[in-house]
Copies of this chain bind each other. A is one copy, B any other.
Amino acid sequence: MPQHKILLDESEMPTRWYNLVADLPSPPPPPLHPGTHEPVGPEAFEALFPMALIEQEVTTERWVDIPEAVLDVYRLWRPSPLYRAHNLEKALGTPAKIYYKYEGVSPAGSHKPNTAVPQAYYNAQAGVKKLTTETGAGQWGTALAFACALFDLTCEVWQVGASYDQKPYRRMMIEAFGAVVHRSPSALTEAGRAILADRPDHPGSLGIAISEAVEVAAPDPEVRYALGSVLNHVLLHQTIIGEEALLQLAKVGDTPDVIVGCTGGGSNFAGLAFPFLREKLAGRNDAVIRAVEPSSCPSLTRGVYAYDFGDTAGLTPLMKMHTLGHDFVPDPIHSGGLRYHGMAPLISHVYELGLMEAISVQQTEAFAAGLQFARSEGILPAPEPTHALAACIREALECKESGQEKVILTALCGHGHFDLAAYDSYLSGRMTDEEVSPERFRDALATVPAM
């Protein structure tokens, strides 16, 4: 009888995060000061992050030990299961082997707690009393609320107004974990008040919510800010995913031929792919590593590689990355976690080095894949990883044509329990594909700063 789950005991869980920077042929370009265009030092981040995280942001060490207290929390749900998708393979009639690493078993139902927990831990160690953050659909806010509950930190979340209004369950989940949620724009910050004065019913945006969370954190030494993707230290924390998957595939004697993951800010993709990329650079696998973007927000496949701001308002240092322009407003697709104008600088650098490839997928193909997956494997995926599943299915069907028995590995980064309105939209035929003409992207690309 086929084995569905490849499990690790808690005692087999990796105890170090992996830093890809140590193994790349060249380092990624540094962040620059927006005025001087000079590289910024660690002190540029001190108002926002504790020193332990800033050190991880810039480290060139290959391995970073995971603190005991973080390992203990990880063990509530980690090691996460690796599944062999026997039922999906059968439904597709493919000779390919499909494996998926499932992060939906976490308290927030996604990969986000992998970094929320160490971020809360290092802040608590530094004497911080409160963390602020933004959240869109709510995955990241849920993860940080949970992590703060465990380390006795107060947690304050600015949620994009439109999501706050339309998806009350995520707000309630964040509150259940003990955090306070504000509808953004809020009257609690200058940034929020200025926007509300102009338009009292403003639906908010991730950029505005970031501004509010940063404004509250920066001046108070007992308050710090936490970010859920894009930065190096966030990607570092997520490598526990790939390190576990390496051990799990070794247990069944398989090596991946293709690795696919969905990319928004990039932390889930990097978490799975970077440890396998290390192995590839060392000649121990020859996997194609493929990022899958939504057609509505294709920073790798349609963006430019340039210095740009990380936020809409232009408050952050300039980061070299694939960007659609910091002014870019993606279509209101259902994959909230993929609606970011830029790509993590470290992933962008890896892409430029030719070590990975990227494709984009339309949302109706993604949701069709998600439903086929749910009805065969029994897990309803979040909208974000349905993009990766669509790419898996494409690959598996090509194997059916060619007869190749490829080993395909993907990251199922979360469940879709809070995203059922999106499935309902698809099932009722209301969902349409995204506009992808060059004109769609022209205006925002023009906002990338000239250097």
Measured CB to CB, the residues of A under 8 A from B are: 1-5, 7, 9-11, 68, 71-73, 75-77, 87, 105-107, 109, 113, 146, 149-150, 168-169, 172-173, 175-178, 371, 374-380, 417-418, 420-421, 423-424, 427
Contacts and interface: CB of A to CB of B under 8 A. Distances in A.
Given A76-B87, A380-B176, A424-B175, A5 B10 contact: yes
A15 B448 CA distance: 62
A385 to B, nearest CB: 15
23 contacts: A1-B71, A1-B72, A2-B72, A3-B11, A73-B378, A76-B377, A106-B378, A107-B378, A113-B378, A150-B378, A169-B169, A169-B417, A169-B420, A172-B420, A172-B424, A172-B427, A173-B380, A175-B424, A176-B371, A176-B420, A176-B423, A177-B374, A178-B371
Contacts of A77: 378
B172 A5 contact: no
Contacts of A417: 109, 169, 173, 417-418
Given A172-B421, A424-B172, A75 B3 contact: yes
Candidate in A5, A10, A173, A176 with the most chain B CB atoms within 10 angstroms: A176
* 7 pairs of A and B residues whose beta carbons are closest in the complex: A107-B378, A172-B420, A417-B417, A149-B375, A172-B424, A169-B420, A4-B75
Q: How many chain copies?
A: 2
A176 B427 contact: yes
Given A172-B423, A173-B420, A176-B423, A9 B7 contact: yes
Nearest to A3: B10
A7 B4 CA distance: 15
Contacts of A105: 105
Contacts of A73: 378
